[in-house]
């Protein structure tokens, strides 16, 4: 008796319908999920041309009976669901019965399968949805599905596929995710002749994290252990009332959270390092994302993201997966309970696992726009957003700036924002001064009107600046022909180095230094792909790297400006740039990004004391750059208060 049946219309109509085949990775996802649902313990994924030419998934799962194998290609044919009630407690990854027919209609598909219950297997060949061949075959038990020439019969769709590298990276990321969710299974991903991932069964998630990401990543993570919370007396939620026969109140009340997440000093530029699984299903969920970011509230800048690998388990009745055809969105029956459970658990673990190395300038910040946005003791305290740092020295008093004839009162918020358009000195617009007022001012000393320079717009003034001192060893205060300047020393130096490095690059090469010992870096499968894509450009930018075993590279030389201690960070930062948003980026943009990363890592940090010779050198060099007003990431470098603004502030004009 076959296991697969066609869903009756009333059930089929309640399933979130839609196209599942968007790109090669979506095919790989459906096929992998089928293999996992079939109880496979070893999964092989072979890809050619980023999956466009071939995606083959080989599993050792339960296989299909002959009749079922044919039935599987009918719409709404599934062995995982029978009636509407089953939709309320889906324990498998698949349930729609649509993947195989959808994939078969836009490719040339070959299915080879044998159930342990039958002595011979079945081979079915389909092209564009038409069955070309169905025959008995001598096969081992398990299933192999080969999908060739995706969208060969839908040229309009084919046009939208990205480069082979990009499509391959999506597949690699997907396989990586599933390998993390199933540490006890073997996963092997190959692209042509190269092996991108091969992990053998291990006993714990920690060991799998080690296999996939290496010890460096593992060191920065906090393990959650097994944390549970019981839902006391659940109110009946209307969330899934759309199903008429809702049945009994479910018996499961325990929610369980396991996994790993990063300490606050690991800051990623995007969400790509956040993997959230609900009952073994990889999902993208705003509620859980929010719970995660609230756990880091006040511990990490809002624009940064952690690394997280979270597994939430609950009764299948507690979560509706039938929300979106790609099955990556879910709806919780008790959303706020789940949200608070996840937030509190992570928060507790963060507190328990202290002391974490906190926000020192040496903290691992892999986000290009963020290095100076790290919580910075002086300003963050003024802005009231960060707890004071125990280890940081007391910042000097604010008035201690050289010996200007006036005292500046800094208004916290605008200074912390470093916003060009909102000067930190508040200048109230008012009526022109009356004669009376002028006379009164005269008692305080005359300021000859001709001494008030016209507002100076030319940047050439930068070259004449006279440094007066630093604020918090981070910002240079300088007097100029027209008023006062505050210069962010890190971004100023970053701009100087960026232009230098770009010029060297254009002239044929960046000055390199050989490392005494090569630096060995372990890459994720995705990073491996990105590395292959940018290796040549890296080399041109002064990094001598070469492959060194499986997903490992050896760095033998690096740009002379970069300190060896920064090297690892900078390379991972560059690889992160290579990821997601910059896939398919032009060579010149990639080059700019690499040069910007080098400049950022090599530049003087904030919280660094500079003597006046260094400050002067910095200001002269800044004046000589092509674009002295903003750093390569677009942040402002200098703020200017004209003499006129100062006079107005003191009611002298
Ligand atoms: P769904 O997974 O939603 O049930 P699919 O179209 O993906 O729908 O698959 C249809 C059916 O084919 C599944 O319900 C399952 O019975 C069978 N099947 C698909 N792939 C495999 C596999 N790798 N091993 C065993 N059975 C499979
Ligand atoms: Mg399926």
Q: Where are the domains of the chain?
A: 9-199, 220-233+250-353, 456-653
Q: Which atom of ligand 1 is nearest to the CA of 98?
A: 6
Residues contacting 243, CB < 8 A, separation 6+: 14, 84, 85, 87, 88
Q: What is the pLDDT of residue 244?
A: 40
User: Pick from 364, 356, 372: which is nearest to 569 by CA?
Assistant: 364
Q: Which atom of ligand 1 is nearest to the CA of 59?
A: 23
Indicate the top mutation candidate among 6, 7, 34 to test ligand 1's pocket, ranked by most ligand atoms within 8 A of CB. Answer: 34
CA of 332 to the centre of ligand 1 (A): 26
CA of 70 to the centre of ligand 1 (A): 11
Pick the residue whose CA is nearest to atom 16 on ligand 1: 79
Q: Which ligand minimizes its atom distance to the CA of 67? A: 1
Residues of the chain under the 50 pLDDT cut: 234-235, 238-248, 250, 355-443, 456-457, 581
Cα-Cα-Cα-Cα dihedral sign, residues 560, 564, 570, 574 = positive
Q: Which ligand minimizes its atom distance to the CA of 87? A: 1
Q: Which ligand minimizes its atom distance to the CA of 79? A: 1
Indicate the top mutation candidate among 36, 40, 68, 78 to test ligand 1's pocket, ranked by most ligand atoms within 8 A of CB. Answer: 78
Quote the tokens at residue 515: 């490392």
User: Pick from 44, 81, 36, 82: which is nearest to 62 by CA?
Assistant: 36
Architecture of the domain made up of 9-199 = 2-Layer Sandwich (3.30)
Compute how many other C-beta atoms are within 10 angstroms of the C-beta atom of residue 436: 8
Indicate the top mutation candidate among 63, 72, 326 to test ligand 1's pocket, ranked by most ligand atoms within 8 A of CB. Answer: 72
Pick the residue whose CA is nearest to atom 2 on ligand 1: 94
The DSSP string of 143-205 is EEEEEESTTTT-HHHHHT---HHHHHHHHHHHHHHHHHH-TTSEEEEEETTEEEEEE---SSH
Q: What is the pLDDT of residue 281?
A: 87
Quote the distance between the C-alpha of residue 387 and its chain's center: 26
Q: Which atom of ligand 1 is nearest to the CA of 102?
A: 6
Q: What is the pLDDT of residue 395?
A: 31
In total, the chain counts a number of residues equal to 653
CATH of the structural domain 220-233+250-353, one choice from 3.30.230.10, 3.30.930.10, 1.20.58.760, 3.10.20.30: 3.30.230.10
Pick the residue whose CA is nearest to atom 23 on ligand 1: 35
CA of 152 to the centre of ligand 2 (A): 22
Residues with CB under 6 A from ligand 1: 3-4, 30, 34-35, 38, 59, 61-64, 72, 77-80, 94-100, 143
- In this structure, are strands 42-48 and 186-191 parallel, antiparallel, or unpaired? parallel
User: Pick from 233, 267, 268, 283: which is nearest to 253 by CA?
Assistant: 233
> Taking a C-beta distance cutoff of 8 angstroms, is the pair 540, 505 a contact?
yes
pTM (2 d.p.): 0.63
CA of 95 to the centre of ligand 1 (A): 9
Helix, strand or coil for residue 468?
A: strand
Quote the tokens at residue 573: 């930062």
Cα separation, 447 vs 432, in Å, equals 16
CA of 32 to the centre of ligand 2 (A): 8
Pick the residue whose CA is nearest to atom 14 on ligand 1: 78
- In this structure, are strands 274-278 and 281-283 parallel, antiparallel, or unpaired? antiparallel
CA of 80 to the centre of ligand 2 (A): 9
Helix, strand or coil for residue 516?
A: strand
Cα-Cα-Cα-Cα dihedral sign, residues 433, 439, 444, 447 = positive
Cα separation, 254 vs 233, in Å, equals 12
- Return the ∠ at Cα 247 (arms to 245 and 253), rounded to 5°: 140
Q: Which atom of ligand 1 is nearest to the CA of 145?
A: 23
Pick the residue whose CA is nearest to atom 19 on ligand 1: 34
Q: Which atom of ligand 1 is nearest to the CA of 4?
A: 16
CA of 27 to the centre of ligand 2 (A): 10
CA of 274 to the centre of ligand 2 (A): 24
Helix, strand or coil for residue 519?
A: strand
CA of 101 to the centre of ligand 2 (A): 10
Pick the residue whose CA is nearest to atom 8 on ligand 1: 97
CA of 186 to the centre of ligand 1 (A): 20
CA of 72 to the centre of ligand 1 (A): 6
Indicate the top mutation candidate among 37, 43, 44, 66 to test ligand 1's pocket, ranked by most ligand atoms within 8 A of CB. Answer: 37
Q: What is the pLDDT of residue 619?
A: 92
DSSP 305: B
DSSP 48: E
CA of 93 to the centre of ligand 2 (A): 7
Q: Which atom of ligand 1 is nearest to the CA of 100?
A: 6
> Taking a C-beta distance cutoff of 8 angstroms, is the pair 636, 372 a contact?
no
The DSSP string of 385-421 is -SPPPTTSPPPPPTT-SS--SS-----HHHHHHT-TT
What CATH code is assigned to 456-653?
3.30.1540.20
Cα Rg, the chain, nearest whole Å: 31
- Return the ∠ at Cα 277 (arms to 359 and 223), rounded to 5°: 40
Pick the residue whose CA is nearest to atom 25 on ligand 1: 63
Q: Which ligand minimizes its atom distance to the CA of 2? A: 1
In 545-573, which positions are buried (b, 16+ CB within 10 angstroms) versus exposed (e)? beeeeebebbbbebbebbeeebbebbbbb
Q: Which atom of ligand 1 is nearest to the CA of 92?
A: 2
CA of 13 to the centre of ligand 1 (A): 19
């Amino acid at each position: 008796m076959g296991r697969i049946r066609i869903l009756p219309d009333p059930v089929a109509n309640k399933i979130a319908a839609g196209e599942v085949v968007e790109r090669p990775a979506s095919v790989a996802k459906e096929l992998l999920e089928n293999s996992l649902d079939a109880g496979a313990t070893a999964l092989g994924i072979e890809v050619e041309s980023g999956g466009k030419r071939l995606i083959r998934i080989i599993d050792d799962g339960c296989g299909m009976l002959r009749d079922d194998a044919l039935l599987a290609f009918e719409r709404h044919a599934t062995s995982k669901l029978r009636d509407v009630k089953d939709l309320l407690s889906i324990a498998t990854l698949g349930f729609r019965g649509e993947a195989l027919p959808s994939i078969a209609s836009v490719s040339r598909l070959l299915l080879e399968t044998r159930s342990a219950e039958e002595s011979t297997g079945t081979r079915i060949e389909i092209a564009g949805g038409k069955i070309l061949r169905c025959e008995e075959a001598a096969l081992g038990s398990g299933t192999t599905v080969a999908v060739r020439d995706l969208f060969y019969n839908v040229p309009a769709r084919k046009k939208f596929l990205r480069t082979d590298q990009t499509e391959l990276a999506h597949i690699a990321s997907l396989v990586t995710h599933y390998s993390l969710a199933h540490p006890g299974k073997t996963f092997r991903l190959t692209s042509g002749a190269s092996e991108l991932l091969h992990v053998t069964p291990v006993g714990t998630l920690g060991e799998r994290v080690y296999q996939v990401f290496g010890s460096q990543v593992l060191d920065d993570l906090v393990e959650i252990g097994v944390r549970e919370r019981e839902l006391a007396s659940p109110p009946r939620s209307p969330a899934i009332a759309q199903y008429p026969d809702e049945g009994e109140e479910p018996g499961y009340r325990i929610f369980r959270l396991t996994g790993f997440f990063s300490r606050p000093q690991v800051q990623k530029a995007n969400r790509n390092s956040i993997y959230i699984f609900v009952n073994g299903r990889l999902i993208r969920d705003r509620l859980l994302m929010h719970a995660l970011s609230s756990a880091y509230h006040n511990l990490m800048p809002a624009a940064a993201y952690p690394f997280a690998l979270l597994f939430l388990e609950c009764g299948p009745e507690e979560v509706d997966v039938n929300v979106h055809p790609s099955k990556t969105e879910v709806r919780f029956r008790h959303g706020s309970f789940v949200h608070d459970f996840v937030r509190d658990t992570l928060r507790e673990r963060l507190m328990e696992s202290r002391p974490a190395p906190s926000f020192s300038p040496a903290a691992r910040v892999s986000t290009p726009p963020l290095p100076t946005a790290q919580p910075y003791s002086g300003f963050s305290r003024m802005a009231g957003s960060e707890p004071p740092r125990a280890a940081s020295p007391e910042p000097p008093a604010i008035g201690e700036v050289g010996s200007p004839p006036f005292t500046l009162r800094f208004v916290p918020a605008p200074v912390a924002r470093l916003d060009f358009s909102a000067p930190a000195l508040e200048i109230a617009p008012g009526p022109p001064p009356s004669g009376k007022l002028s006379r009164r001012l005269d008692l305080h000393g005359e300021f000859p009107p001709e001494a008030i320079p016209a507002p100076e717009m030319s940047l050439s003034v930068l070259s004449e600046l006279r440094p007066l001192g630093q604020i918090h060893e981070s910002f240079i205060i300088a007097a100029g022909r027209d008023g006062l300047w505050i210069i962010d020393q890190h971004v100023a130096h970053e701009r100087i180095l960026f232009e230098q490095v770009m010029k060297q690059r254009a002239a044929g090469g960046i000055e390199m230094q050989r490392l005494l010992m090569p630096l060995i870096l372990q890459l994720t499968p995705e990073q491996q792909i990105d590395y292959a894509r940018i290796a040549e450009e890296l080399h041109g930018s002064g990094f001598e790297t070469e492959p060194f075993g499986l997903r490992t590279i050896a760095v033998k030389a690096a740009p002379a400006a970069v300190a060896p201690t920064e090297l690892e960070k900078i390379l991972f930062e560059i690889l992160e740039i290579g990821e997601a948003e910059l896939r398919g980026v032009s060579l010149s943009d990639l080059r700019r990004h690499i040069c910007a990363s080098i400049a950022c890592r090599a530049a003087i940090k904030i919280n660094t004391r500079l003597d006046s010779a260094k400050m002067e050198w910095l200001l002269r060099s800044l004046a000589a750059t092509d674009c002295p007003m903003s750093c390569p990431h677009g942040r402002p470098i200098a703020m200017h208060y004209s003499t006129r603004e100062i006079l107005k502030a003191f009611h002298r004009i």
